[in-house]
Structure 1
Amino acid sequence: MPSPAKAFKGEQCLEPTDVMRRDHMDFLKHQRDETLREGIRGQKYSLNSCIDCHAVTSPDVAGGQVRTLKPFCAQCHAYAAVSIDCFQCHNGAYQPGIGDQSALPADHQAQAMIAALEKQLAKGADK
């Protein structure tokens, strides 16, 4: 069983350890949906709450100059063979192709989807 680093600060997590191990992804997904769809930020289960306590320095990230959640999360996720997708967006460094159109696959299907979307948007503008 993995033994992730102790919290950087704080004595107690938002929920008991067994609840967080089992349900943290549901808490984060729910918070993500509220943030993206309704603009509700800064709630109890935000990723920032995790970062405040569990982010640690790692020599693999910016030469150990910044705190990151990656080592804390990676131990259990590797043990459980579960991928982490949080850091595809929540990453301090700009990565070309993320968050812009170049991230789409360069095939005809993606181009067709873009064309259909542009056509639909143009219809909406005519109303």
Structure 2
Amino acid sequence: MAKATVRTILLVGLVWALLAQTVLAEEVRRYVVEGSKAAELDACVEPTERMRRMHFEFIKHQRIATVHQGIRGTKYSLAGCVDCHISYDEQRQPQPIDRPDQFCGACHAYAAVDLNCFDCHASVPNRSEDSPEAQAAHQALGLGPLGSLAQTHAGGGER
């Protein structure tokens, strides 16, 4: 009788753990905001799981390279992250990426991690998506042209 009770408790615990893991996976997956270039891609500049765990390290090392060595334009630039993960509303206006319903803001709120990058840095691109600079930055990241954004962003909104 005791063994059956223990087995039942373990089985129920296992089912709850699997259910929680599935729910959490869906919760994390929703942070790639519909209407962003990132929503069209299978992976970021690194595999998704690596980016989830290490993005702050990549950004920190890029900051050091930029500030101390003057190296700009690498694949780990914060501007590149914003250019790819930003979403647009129905009027094609960029939505601040640090808002609680946007890419950085939503994930940082979920993880209960302070998001202070945008205390100093712009939370929207400082140029239009059609500008030569935005096109060049996107090409430098190996993401292809931004030409398809007009169709992608026409619907706007978030997940």
Q: TM-score, normalised by structure 2?
A: 0.49
Residue type of the alignment partner of 2:67: L
C-alpha distance in structure 1 between counterparts of 2:123 and 2:51, whole Å: 25
Gaps of 5+ in 1: 94-127
Percent identical across equivalent pairs?
46
C-alpha distance in structure 1 between counterparts of 2:55 and 2:87, whole Å: 19
Q: How many residues align?
A: 90
RMSD (Å), alpha carbons: 2.6
C-alpha distance in structure 2 between counterparts of 1:82 and 1:73, whole Å: 10
Contact 1:57 / 1:68 at 8 angstroms: preserved in 2?
Answer: no
The residue number in structure 1 matching 2:108 is 77
The residue number in structure 2 matching 1:88 is 119
Choose which of 66, 72, 81 in structure 2 pairs with 1:35.
66
C-alpha distance in structure 1 between counterparts of 2:59 and 2:50, whole Å: 13
C-alpha distance in structure 1 between counterparts of 2:64 and 2:84, whole Å: 22
Could you report, residue by residue, the CA deviation over 1:10-44 in whole angstroms, capped at 9, with x for unpaired residues? Answer: 52310111100000000000001111111110011
C-alpha distance in structure 2 between counterparts of 1:92 and 1:76, whole Å: 15
Gaps of 5+ in 2: 1-23, 125-159
Pair 1:25–1:37, CA change in 2 (3 A): same
Provide runs of 4+ in structure 1 moved above 3 Å: none
